[in-house]
Copies of this chain bind each other. A is one copy, B any other.
Amino acid sequence: MNNTETVPILRLTEQGISNINDVVAREFAVTIVLNGRELVTLLCSPADLQYLAVGFLLSEGLLTAKDEIRRMTDDYRTGTVRIDTERDERPTGAAASARSITSGCGGGVSFHSAADVVQGQAKVESGAEISTHEVMALMKEFQHRSSTFIATGGVHSAALCDRNRILIFSEDIGRHNAIDKVFGECILNGVPTGDRMLFTSGRVSSEIVLKTARRHVPIIVSKSAPTDLGLRLADDLGVTLLGFVRGGRMNVYTHDRRIARDGKQDC
């Protein structure tokens, strides 16, 4: 299903007024039904709903591997993805009621409480390295791939990369959704995530770091800013966090040992 729609608008510029057609990002409501029960309704871009649903369950710790999925169907007409898993599991009691709502640019929800966010999450152990030159080249490719953003200015992008190229790419009106779609696609298509990198257009808050660490990804590269909790969590979980990667510069917030310094001329 298409992520965009064309609408007639009035454009006012210094040159005057014109009636034009403009492309806007679509906003679609999808309900995830887990083991017969409505789990959540997400507002998202309408493409790749199964990837989104699986990625969301991964991020919430309600799914850990593809073979736990017994059956999955989507219905764009009703905006529903139904997933039956081996474990008949959903958040209950305190976990279901103490909902932690994300802050911004990308929305989302977490069933865990912010306080115990690190508990039970193992550190990411990886000897992966990347040079500043490679980071810059990948960011350039990442931005060129963002066709919905280029058309609408209204979506976020996320990608799984190795040192040389983009392996999985996604766009969504939500920064959380775009990342969940990437990890959902990885799980469903058997694409390994360890020793690789997550690229994101959006702000890196604590939940973004947590969902990335859950997929054992050692390096996060963002075009935007981190929050203080995001970088503290990255520090605790052994994740290398790069922000503001644009215009020939970058900030390295945590675990700079994975950045191979290739000298001034490459940066």
Interface residues of A (CB under 8 A from B): 5, 7, 9-17, 22, 24-27, 29, 31, 38, 40-45, 97-109, 113-115, 132, 152-156, 172-177, 202-203, 205-207, 224-231, 244, 248-253, 256, 259, 261, 264, 267
A29 touches B174 (CB 8 A): no
Q: Which residue of B lies closest to A45 (CB)?
A: B103
Choice from B13, B106, B206, B227 contacting A154 with Cβ under 8 Å: B227
A231 touches B7 (CB 8 A): yes
Task: Given the known inter-chain contacts A27-B205, A41-B101, please indicate yes or no for A228 contacting B106, CB distance below 8 A.
Answer: no
A228 touches B40 (CB 8 A): no
In whole Å, how far is A200's beta carbon from the nearest beta carbon of chain B?
A: 12
Q: Which residue of B lies closest to A31 (CB)?
A: B98
B7 touches A261 (CB 8 A): no
Q: Which residue of B lies closest to A20 (CB)?
A: B251
Chain B residue contacts of A104, Cβ below 8 A: 105-107, 155-156, 172-177, 202
Chain B residue contacts of A227, Cβ below 8 A: 24-27, 154, 173
What separation, in Å, do the CA atoms of A250 and B16 have in the docked complex?
11
Number of copies: 2
Chain B residue contacts of A115, Cβ below 8 A: 29
Prevailing SS type, chain A contact patch: mixed
Chain B residue contacts of A43, Cβ below 8 A: 100-103, 114, 205-207, 229
Chain B residue contacts of A261, Cβ below 8 A: 12, 17
Q: Considering residues A27, A41, A109, A256, which has the most beta carbons from chain B within 10 angstroms of its beta carbon?
A: A27
Chain B residue contacts of A228, Cβ below 8 A: 5, 7, 24-27
What separation, in Å, do the CA atoms of A227 and B107 have in the docked complex?
15
Q: Considering residues A29, A42, A261, which has the most beta carbons from chain B within 10 angstroms of its beta carbon?
A: A29
What separation, in Å, do the CA atoms of A94 and B211 have in the docked complex?
28
What separation, in Å, do the CA atoms of A172 and B29 have in the docked complex?
25
B22 touches A251 (CB 8 A): yes
- Known A101-B107, A153-B224; further 13 A-B contacts with Cβ < 8 A: A9-B252, A10-B252, A11-B251, A13-B248, A13-B267, A15-B264, A22-B251, A27-B103, A29-B114, A38-B97, A43-B103, A104-B156, A104-B174
> Can you name 16 A-B residue pairings with CB atoms under 8 Å?
A7-B231, A9-B251, A12-B251, A12-B259, A15-B264, A24-B226, A27-B227, A27-B229, A29-B100, A41-B98, A41-B100, A103-B107, A104-B156, A153-B225, A173-B203, A173-B205
Task: Given the known inter-chain contacts A29-B115, A174-B103, please indicate yes or no for A24 contacting B225, CB distance below 8 A.
Answer: yes
